[in-house]
Chains A and B, each alone.
Chain A
């Protein structure tokens, strides 16, 4: 049976701005998977992505409730999430530098977390972490979220040619990193999405 067509963004945003609480819930459920995926792709760390995704949802909801009516909703949302993740990345880097100055040892990961984290997630985080911040942004927007090169360039605030270069480097790096980790048979046997929040 074909899936029902989702409510257009303009209609959902209008209902949300009229103060309909059910619209807020519909909007949240619909946006969460995409926003989280973007955050995880940009930040390459699950815990940081969860925090950034919650902050992104808060910021998006606040802007919508304040009357923002974006012409292209999805491009606007992606830009808001990207900016927030860049801020988070900067703060994280500053924190790391401060911790280095204090010469405190890095906290050990909680064994329970390690046990809970699947191999797929660890490999994914390692692979994304292998890329630079800009390479991740280009890869996530162009290859994983399906934006065009021009849209990716606009979202990142760079030229289309730079996007192509970043993309080429990101793909190469990813392949050279994941190849030995996964091997050809595992690459062919992609992980199965099992999360209820996961949507293509």
Chain B
């Protein structure tokens, strides 16, 4: 068996590749030889094939033609009625109650636990009675407010996790909070602000 003679690729720049030349033997397959030639050009350190191609005016003209043809083939923006869009939903702000709203809920919850009767009559006092608060970040990226007895959590994805016994829903002015007989409106509407 006669060993084949090692031969370097015939790349566009006629440079010797940096890789092992013994891998590059002539084959019967012109496409494979061409690929090897390209690979030699890829490995040529001074002038990679991108720049080689960009230096070639005919290739550059071809790419320019395709770019311009793509632009020319772009239809006008569809009219609003013809656009596929998600159904209108509440603004994201509604789904992201602020930390202040969470604090308010916490105060309400704590107040209800302490004095349900008083809470029903004087809901605003509940905030003063809430005691010292502290904020912390939970491991899943939420923010929580706690005063050691109860906790309210705001989440960037899921919205607000309400303490037990509370419900909340948006209304025209802002966020309406309910806990039994107590109804409190937290004003968050951009219009109102």
A residues at B contact (CB < 8 Å): 17-19, 24-25, 28-29, 32-33, 36-37, 40-41, 46, 50, 54-55, 57-58, 61-62, 65, 67, 120-121, 123-124, 127-128, 139, 142-144, 149, 161, 164-165, 167-169, 171-172, 174-175, 178-179, 182, 184, 186-188, 190-200
**Can you list 8 residue pairs at the A/B interface with Cβ under 8 Å?**
A17-B92, A58-B84, A124-B70, A143-B67, A165-B38, A186-B65, A190-B64, A193-B74
Check B70 against A61 for contact (C-beta < 8 Å).
no
B residues at A contact (CB < 8 Å): 38-39, 41-42, 48-50, 53, 58-59, 61-78, 80, 83-86, 89-93, 95-96, 156-157, 190
Chain B residue with the shortest CB-CB distance to A124: B69
| Contacts A178-B62, A179-B58; A37 near B84 (Cβ below 8 A) | no
Check A195 against B157 for contact (C-beta < 8 Å).
no
Check A33 against B49 for contact (C-beta < 8 Å).
no
Chain A residue with the shortest CB-CB distance to B94: A19
Check B85 against A24 for contact (C-beta < 8 Å).
yes
Hey, which chain A residues are within 8 Å of B67, CB to CB? 143-144
The A/B interface has a contact count, at CB < 8 Å, of 154
The 3 residue pairs across chains A and B that have the minimum distance between CB atoms: A19-B91, A198-B71, A32-B77
Chain A residue with the shortest CB-CB distance to B157: A67
Q: Kindly identify which residue among B50, B74, B90 contacts A198, using a CB–CB cutoff of 8 Å.
A: B74
Q: Kindly identify which residue among B50, B65, B83 contacts A187, using a CB–CB cutoff of 8 Å.
A: B65
Q: Kindly identify which residue among A40, A54, A62, A182 contacts B65, using a CB–CB cutoff of 8 Å.
A: A182
Q: How far is the CB of B97 from chain A (nearest CB, A)?
A: 13
Chain B residue with the shortest CB-CB distance to A143: B63
Check A18 against B92 for contact (C-beta < 8 Å).
yes
Docked pose: A197 CA to B78 CA in angstroms? 9
Check A179 against B62 for contact (C-beta < 8 Å).
yes
8 additional contacts (CB under 8 A) given A58-B84, A120-B73, A175-B58: A18-B190, A55-B84, A124-B69, A165-B49, A171-B53, A187-B61, A187-B65, A193-B71
Check A195 against B62 for contact (C-beta < 8 Å).
no
**Max chain B C-beta neighbours (<10 A), residue from A36, A171, A179, A188:** A171
Q: Kindly identify which residue among B62, B69, B157 contacts A175, using a CB–CB cutoff of 8 Å.
A: B62
Q: How far is the CB of A21 from chain B (nearest CB, A)?
A: 8
Check B73 against A46 for contact (C-beta < 8 Å).
yes
Docked pose: A33 CA to B70 CA in angstroms? 10
Check A167 against B50 for contact (C-beta < 8 Å).
yes
Check A171 against B72 for contact (C-beta < 8 Å).
no
| Contacts A29-B77, A67-B156; A61 near B49 (Cβ below 8 A) | no
Q: How far is the CB of B110 from chain A (nearest CB, A)?
A: 30
Check B83 against A127 for contact (C-beta < 8 Å).
no
Check B92 against A54 for contact (C-beta < 8 Å).
no
Q: Kindly identify which residue among B66, B72, B77 contacts A144, using a CB–CB cutoff of 8 Å.
A: B66
Docked pose: A167 CA to B93 CA in angstroms? 45
